[in-house]
Chain A
Amino acid sequence: MALASAATDSPIQTTSETNDNNLQTFFVLHKASSRKSEKRSTGTGKTRRRIDLSPSSPKKTDKSEAERAEEWDERRYEHLRMEAFELVWSRIDLTIKDVLRGINTNVLNEIHSWVCESFNAIKSFGTLGFAEATRSFPIVAAATCKRLFTGLILTKNMEFVDDLLTFEELGLSLRSHGCHVANLSSMDFSAKNGIGGCLRGFLRQFLTTTLDAADISILASWYREQDNHDSPVVVIIDDMERCCGSVLSDFILMLSEWVLKIPIIILMGVSTTLDAPRNILPSNVLQRLCPSKFILGSPAERMDAVVEAVLVKQCSGFSVGHRAAVFLRNYFLNQDGTLTSFIRALKIACAQHFSMEPLSFILGDLLVEEKQKGEKICLLPEVILKHASQLPSYVRNQMADQTAKSLVHGFSELKRLQKCWSIVVLCLYEAGKCNKIRLLDLLCEALDPDLYISRASNNHVELDKDSGLGMASDRCKRRKYSTFQKGGIISQIVRKVRDLPAVMLYQLLKSWENITVDILEIHEKLKELQSVLRFEDGKLKQNVDDISKRHSSWSPLNIEKDSKAINEKAATLLDCLVRDYLRPMECIPLHEIVCFKNVEKLQLALIGDPRRRIQVDLLEFYKILQCSCCSKSGNVLLPSMHDTSVMYTLAQEHGDLINLHDWFQSFKTVVLQPSTKGKHKSKQSPLSKKRKHKYESENKSEASIQARFCRAVTELQITGLLRMPSRRRPDCVQRVAFGL
């Protein structure tokens, strides 16, 4: 049990530590919610187990025996699942890292070559001996020599998180090329520490000794006395926008005084636009910079790359359902457009999947070795088969006999279909690239089961026509398509393919060819299409260069026509690919094992929506601390309730400003009233209290009530729902509820 709970906790833990903004939900009300979630999840686990158990129970005669075996299996499978999770996630993580690195390599190389060039440029101004280089007075030189070479790195994203890693990599790669690198961040350029603190932080990265009075001359002598004066000193400033302008400009001016003695090159990350340096720095400082800009891959591009590698090509068997995909997409677009959070979301999804889906450990095995998969599953005990037989998709597809064989077959089928699906998606993506279809959107549509079903029905309708006459049926079909899904991305792409210039079409087919290479049936179709193309190759060539020559005056018609014909063929191919092979996860039997669908959990984990959560929990707290005393009473305030929630419920009646005195009075009445009385009576409750419940009023002393009041108010303030009395209105607290 303990193990189980731990396992089920793990997603919650990751949640709480990853998006720190909704930590509060767990702190406030004495960490009740985490307990709740645990309880809930285990509860569900239990119920399912019971269900699973019931069919397998008649076999076993001895209940207790069954129980023990059950427990044992449980523990073992928990273990397997955790292993599987580790395996899968490590695989995914690795892939993502590789993809990102791949995206950055070009830019990093550019930057390095630029650094080398500018270093040579600085050296060309003249080489200095030790004495000149360490003297206090500057080298007499032209003004143009005193400019600092500055690389502005545009990280196309307002959010900064994604690029931290990038800048670290940049520093590492430059170091590996033998430059002296200092990574500074906006923390070093704070107005509080001023230029002194900035220099100290800057020098600390080169010198081992700690300095109390840092100045650049130290760096100069350091640079000269090691034999390291044949490589540049690179200063990387991660986030230029956040730096304090004055400190940064002091820093730059200071460096520019020494640039001939210390070949310093600055790299600044600019997260918004090129105007940012203009806005931050005064003109005389800009004058000292000799800027040149570099562009990192935009988040959308990275995102597509990651999605392609992880979700489409399926580096690990794990995949997400339609709704989950849509949620992820919206989260990326609407909430915070960082890849980091996307990956985090993916990880949470993965963890939850493995923690909830009892059969998910099979995924791990699938991942490890294809070979023994068969017998592995044959070895599976009855229980698992039972599990599998319970899977709704499995049931839906009436794979009647629940034998290991059918399971094995089911798995291989699953993998095959997945493969086909991903290939078709990639083809579509290829075709869509030229008009900037985002893979993420495409994915969402490709995963949509309803669309698939509608498509399928549509085929059955016009199968017969499809066989015979090609184009006309295509046309009308296209019309049908466009009718039943207007503006759908896939149909857009198909339409696009229809009017593609011949050259690009040729390239497109090429790309398709090497995408589809390892699924024969698709590859065949492609081949025959291409043979048609080759057949008209001569003409193609003609109208290729003819198009390029831009005078299609002579006999435009036939060329137009048969190029159109090719386009039609391609589109038809794409169409039937979509029809036959674009089969979303959720329409494949056994998909529950590999596919995560539970959006609500993900949403809860990612968008904690802390403020709302706090207030809801405060108002209906009895759901959390499930105490016997006050769970039954609806919205009637009882003295047994938790002080803070009582206070907050009372606060609901006031406006933005709450008069402390009234509030205290009503709180007191609630606390002192007998537990039976409702809040609606609380007006005459004081005197009623006077009459009956004297003994209560005496043992609850005024002081204690005040103390509780104060504590509750403080708690409310800590949760950020209250603002303490201002100087103008000393008797009122203000509610800070942003209309939430």
Chain B
Amino acid sequence: MGKEESPQITRRTTRSSSSVTVAKNGVETTKTSDSRPLTINELVFGENPIGLDDLLSSFPSRRAQILELVRLLGPSNSPMLPIFIYGGSSTGKTSIILQIFRHLNRPFVYSSCLTCYSPRILFESILNQLLLHRKNAANGYSSAKRCERPSDFVNSLREALSNVINNLKGNSGKSSTKNLVGRADGSMVYLIFDNLELVREWDKSATILPFLFNLFDVLKMPEVGLIFVSNTSPDTYYSSMGYMEPIPVHFPDYTEDAIRQILMKNQVNRKLYLSFLDVVLRPFCRITRRVDELSTALAPLFEKYCEPVSDSGVVPNEEMKRVLFSHLQPYIAPSLNEVFKVSSQPSPEVKTNSEIKQKGSRRKSGGCEEIDELDFHMSTSAKYLLISAFLASRNPATLDASLFDPMGGFDSRKRKRKPSQKSLEQKETVEQELLMKGPGTFPLERLLAIFQCITSIAEGSIDEEEQGDEGLEVQGGDGRLMSDVLLQLSSLCNANFIIKGGSCPLEGLIRYRSTVSEDMVMKVARSLKFPLSKYLYRR
């Protein structure tokens, strides 16, 4: 990089006194380049431009889009109507438009609405680039102009643009004598707005979005080209009507063989990888066609695939492919159904992690079963509270009385059956409710009532759980569990097991909802030896 940009920097310094023969020691120029004054050439891509053929070859199956874009941008110094590039994420929109500008070597201003998360920051970053202003410690990382309103932005944008364009005109006049690489070509300036779909969220697309779409007409400067890049198609913007619709360019998602070509790029052993792709690519493409997801999913699989292979340079023949495939087979289905793969302990050289592993295994062997062991610590009362919250969310409030009576298990079951036989259709509705609305909400009082019932029922289990010391336990085990239950509740809320809306828990107006998954609760109940299924309605 350093070497590539050093000529441009020397040129930058010596443009006035036009002599190209300056020592090109890239290192020190990169070191000190922040002290140098920025020139108009900051606005071009900066590395030496690439030919159209390299451009086309570097993006497989994007030929049509690239050519179309180049045509729409047209020859240098020719004005342009706004362009709207859209297509699914990771279809190469941003990289292609950037590479095209590298190829054309024209000045442009890029701003992503993801990084510029508010109108003010968007405006200021555009102005900073146009005014060749760079934030640094010297100016306290402040931007060149402070502007928040579109009206101010338009005014200062106008003058900034006109300066730049005049600068470019003079520049091009000079450059007609000797055509240099880092030198901006033509006197057009292009504004690129990336991730435009995010702007709709900013102020409910009331002002900013129509403003951006109208910018071309508002400015009335033919030397300015606007390029919008968005994830979503133009018809998703119709809700914010009132703009001149730009020219759409669609980037379709990659087809399977396009994906194959892309994945094949910069692979060391292409043959091997190709055989690998033949095995896995089709099933994966049925799930998703996004390159990033596919590449992250396939990388670990390929390692597995390569395990039997001795040398990396081998060219697989048929039965070798067969062997490799049979080796790979068991891993495919799980990784098909895996979205978020967490690799544990990437650093094998530390022995401590192996020790940790065996510790873990020991813990499991120590615990009753591997599966249903809860793998993090909760206090007993928190566990009971969690269970009661779960019950409160799942059971209809009307049945509490019949489900939890302090008489205990058998009785409650007998009573439970009665209403369930009585109202089958009600059950249906409850089932639907659960499916649709998810876990129901409940007030604090109900939660605590259920909690009390459960704990009073489960006292016995607690006691036999703690052998030596019934004496202490009996004299107010319930009271003990009950004592700082509100604290437990808050910590449960913090762990996202219970979601609450509203303010202070003493002001019982808020309703809570437990979002904990059922098997999790089952684990908890098992760790308490608590008969959960008995109190769960319709289970």
Question: Interface of A with B (CB < 8 Å)?
Answer: 21, 106-107, 109-110, 113-114, 117, 126-132, 134-138, 140, 142-144, 146-147, 152, 154, 156-160, 195-196, 207, 209, 211, 213, 215-218, 221-222, 224-225, 239, 241-242, 250, 253-254, 257-258, 271-280, 283-284, 286-287, 289-295, 298-300, 323, 326-327, 330, 332-337, 434-436, 444-445, 448, 487-489, 599, 607-609, 612, 720, 723, 736, 738-740
Contacts and interface: CB of A to CB of B under 8 A. Distances in A.
Contacts, number: 275
B448 interface: yes
Nearest to A280: B496
B388 interface: no
A330 B482 CA distance: 14
Contacts of B468: 326, 444-445, 448, 488
Nearest to B297: A287
A50 B537 CA distance: 64
A158 B378 contact: yes
A291 B339 CA distance: 12
B472 to A, nearest CB: 6
Interface string B445-477: 100110010000000001000111100110001
Given A156-B375, A336-B484, A131 B33 contact: yes
B111 A283 contact: no
B409 to A, nearest CB: 21
A336 B383 CA distance: 11
Interface string B314-357: 00000000000000000000000001111111110110110110
Given A129-B1, A160-B494, A292-B344, A196 B117 contact: yes
A436 B378 contact: no
A136 B129 contact: yes
Q: Which 10 A-B pairs have the closest CB atoms?
A: A436-B366, A143-B292, A137-B110, A106-B352, A720-B506, A129-B30, A337-B379, A609-B483, A738-B448, A334-B380
Interface of B: 1-2, 5, 9, 26, 30-31, 33-34, 42, 46, 89-90, 94-95, 98-99, 109-112, 114-118, 120-121, 124-125, 129, 134-137, 140-143, 192, 266, 291-293, 295-296, 299, 339-347, 349-350, 352-353, 355-356, 360, 362-363, 366-367, 375-382, 444-445, 448-449, 452, 462, 466-469, 472-473, 477, 479-488, 491-492, 494-497, 506-509, 515, 517, 520
Contacts of B379: 159, 332-337
A289 B95 CA distance: 21
A719 B452 CA distance: 22
15 contacts: A106-B355, A107-B352, A129-B5, A136-B109, A136-B110, A136-B125, A143-B296, A146-B292, A217-B115, A221-B141, A242-B496, A335-B483, A445-B468, A609-B483, A609-B484
Contact of A291 (B90, B340, B491, B507): B340
Nearest to B351: A106
B366 A300 contact: no
B135 A221 contact: yes
A294 B345 contact: yes
B99 A140 contact: yes
Given A109-B350, A292-B346, A326-B469, A436 B367 contact: yes
A158 B495 contact: yes
B488 A336 contact: yes
Nearest to A210: B140
Contacts of B134: 134, 221
A305 B293 CA distance: 44
Chain B CB within 10 Å, residue with most, of A127, A160, A213, A242: A213
A274 B292 CA distance: 22
Contact of A334 (B266, B342, B350, B480): B480
Nearest to A451: B468
Contacts of B377: 156-159, 298-300, 337
Nearest to A132: B1
Contacts of A330: 466, 469, 472-473, 480
Given A114-B346, A295-B356, A335-B381, 11 more contacts: A127-B1, A152-B342, A211-B142, A217-B135, A221-B34, A222-B141, A336-B379, A445-B468, A488-B467, A720-B506, A723-B508
Nearest to A137: B110
B420 to A, nearest CB: 27
Contact of A218 (B141, B363, B375, B473): B141
B141 A293 contact: no
B11 to A, nearest CB: 13
Given A156-B377, A286-B339, A299-B377, A222 B114 contact: no
Nearest to B109: A136
B472 A326 contact: yes
Nearest to A156: B376
Given A129-B33, A295-B360, A221 B136 contact: yes
A109 B46 contact: no
A488 B467 CA distance: 8
Contacts of A290: 296
B111 A136 contact: yes
Contacts of A106: 350, 352-353, 355-356
Contacts of A289: 340
B40 to A, nearest CB: 14
Contacts of B124: 213
A146 B134 CA distance: 25
B34 A224 contact: yes
Contacts of A277: 340
Contacts of A209: 137, 140-141
Nearest to A242: B494
Contacts of A21: 484, 486-487
B30 A109 contact: no
B137 A292 contact: no
Given A144-B292, A144-B299, A213 B346 contact: no
